[in-house]
Amino acid sequence: MFSERFVLADRVLNVAPSPTLAVNAKAKALRAAGADILNFSVGEPDLSTPAHVCEAGKRAIEEGRTRYTPAAGILELRQAVCTKLKEEQGWDYQPDDVQISCGGKHGLYNIFQAILNPGDEVLIFAPYWVSYPPMVQLAGGTPVIVPLRQERRFDIDPDVVARYITDKTKAIVLNSPSNPTGAVYSLAALAEVARMALAGGWLVITDDMYEELFYGEGRVPHILHADPRLQGQTVLSNGVSKSFAMTGWRIGYSAGPREVIRAMNKIQSQSTSNPAAPSQYAALAALTGPQDFPRQMREAFLPRRAYFVDALEAIAGVSCVAPMGAFYVFPNFSAYYGKTFNGRVIDGSVALADYFLSEAQVASVPGAAFGADDFIRFSFATSLDTIKQGMARIKQALAALR
Ligand SMILES: *Cc1c(COP(=O)(O)O)cnc(C)c1O
């Protein structure tokens, strides 16, 4: 047996393992034992990748486009990203301002690696996507968690942000629509953040992964709409994983100041070299082909979202803000904390999610994973029928608590 302290790096020992893993492992074990588990824990669309995208990937393989590509990604795809940003948003970018990465996640990882020095602080809103704090830590930075409130529908409160600013603030992460809350930040709040970012010289990182899954009118408000002057210090992060149901292809993209993108390319060239070539051609087909897929997905999600929110709100003590984007509901169950089942106290989201799993055969993700213990995340990237069954079970399980 080796000593972990001796063998493993501090950077690994200092990063907390995901609290979702315990629930996940238990769900798998129960399923293997034959239990009828309804799974609401998945963070990916339940639709298949569009056929024309798969065809483009196959064609790339058949035509031998199976070698290394430039570290930044193939020029055609970077150009397609620029065209998309210009046509949809009116923003000007050149291919040299764009990096293709192994998923949006690795793009974000590259950004933090490229910009952070020890002690640099990054403002992250909670509830947050699980990977932001560890990514910042792995790059030597310090995550500074800024709370968002359910009462404000998880919109940014600029006065609260102001309290977390120090002379070490280096960057801020925006994620709208948000995973896990589904919240969309208001243009007014973004304008205030833009003002602070310009004054402080921070880098603004926008994780726009769910931009296509917006349930409001028009396009999602973006900080570059609030103040276009910010473009010179903003890095956009996006990808095809969610919008084209391509999670397994591993293609993301970032666009931003050329110096930052160049630094990110340096890191990519010394780590992954480049994302898989056939996947890049498939993503090219996704961005340049018919754009009706995200709309179809949105339409498929609408009735599920409506049912989920109504059913949750109908349960005594449960409240749920209707998500304005993405495919998650994030209800507040804190009224049930402190209650017991067979003498076992439900003391928070981990215990409640565990209870839902063992007593109701419903898998979900405890809010603690997102820095918000009052809540539990359920994905509605699953059939309406599954949602109806799941809600009936949840309701019954909650009623059994004393
Ligand atoms: C899924 C997701 C990503 C990254 O997805 P990839 O599969 O790495 O492309 C990034 N941010 C958020 C908020 C996500 O939910």
Fold of 10-48+293-399: Aspartate Aminotransferase, domain 1 (3.90.1150)
Ligand 1 centroid to 195 CA: how many Å?
27
Ligand 1 centroid to 346 CA: how many Å?
31
Over range 369-396, report the average pLDDT: 97
Domain with CATH 3.40.640.10 in the chain: 66-288
Distances (CA, A) of 213 to 133, 176, 350, 375: 24, 10, 28, 22
Ligand 1 centroid to 130 CA: how many Å?
10
Q: Strand, coil or helix: what is 110? A: helix
Ligand 1 centroid to 210 CA: how many Å?
9
pLDDT digit string, tens, across residues 237-266: 999 999 999 999 999 999 999 999 999 999
Ligand 1 centroid to 239 CA: how many Å?
8
**Average pLDDT of the chain to the nearest whole number:** 95
Please report the pLDDT score of residue 23 as a whole number: 72
Fold of 66-288: Aspartate Aminotransferase; domain 2 (3.40.640)
pLDDT band at 42 (very low <50, low <70, confident <90, very high): confident
Q: For the sheet containing 376-379, what is the strand order? A: 328-329, 376-379, 365-366
- Beta carbons within 10 angstroms of residue 184's beta carbon: 23
pLDDT band at 343 (very low <50, low <70, confident <90, very high): very high
Residue 251 CA: nearest ligand 1 atom is 9
| DSSP calls for 257-278 | -HHHHHHHHHHHHTTT-SS-HH
Q: Strand, coil or helix: what is 312? A: helix
Residues with CB under 6 A from ligand 1: 43, 103-105, 129, 175, 179, 207, 209, 239, 241-242, 247, 252
Residue 242 CA: nearest ligand 1 atom is 1
Residue 239 CA: nearest ligand 1 atom is 9
Q: Which of 44, 179, 220 to mutate to test the pocket of ligand 1 (most atoms within 8 A of CB)?
A: 179
Q: Which of 242, 287, 380 to mutate to test the pocket of ligand 1 (most atoms within 8 A of CB)?
A: 242
Residue 241 CA: nearest ligand 1 atom is 9
Q: Which of 131, 136, 154, 241 to mutate to test the pocket of ligand 1 (most atoms within 8 A of CB)?
A: 241
Residue 179 CA: nearest ligand 1 atom is 13
Ligand 1 centroid to 292 CA: how many Å?
21
pLDDT digit string, tens, across residues 184-199: 999 999 999 999 999 9
Domain with CATH 3.90.1150.10 in the chain: 10-48+293-399
pLDDT digit string, tens, across residues 374-384: 999 999 999 99
Q: Strand, coil or helix: what is 4? A: helix
Q: What residues contact residue 148 under an 8 Å CB cut-off, 6+ apart? A: 125, 126, 127, 154, 155, 156, 157, 181, 183
Phi-psi map region of 384: left, alpha, beta (phi>0 left; psi -120 to 50 alpha): alpha
CB neighbour class for 101 (10 Å; exposed up to 12, middle 13-18, buried from 19): buried
**Beta strand pairing call for 234-239 and 252-255:** antiparallel
pTM: 0.96
Ligand 1 centroid to 50 CA: how many Å?
19
Query: Using omega within 30 degrees of 0 as the cis cutoff, is the peptide bond preceding 177 cis?
Result: yes
Nearest CA to ligand 1 atom 5: 104
How far apart (Å, rounded) are the C-alpha atoms in residues 159 and 385?
43
Contact 227, 91 (CB under 8 A): no
* 33-37, 155-159, 220-224, 259-263: the lowest-pLDDT one: 33-37
The proportion of the chain whose per-residue pLDDT surpasses 70, expressed as a percent, equals 98
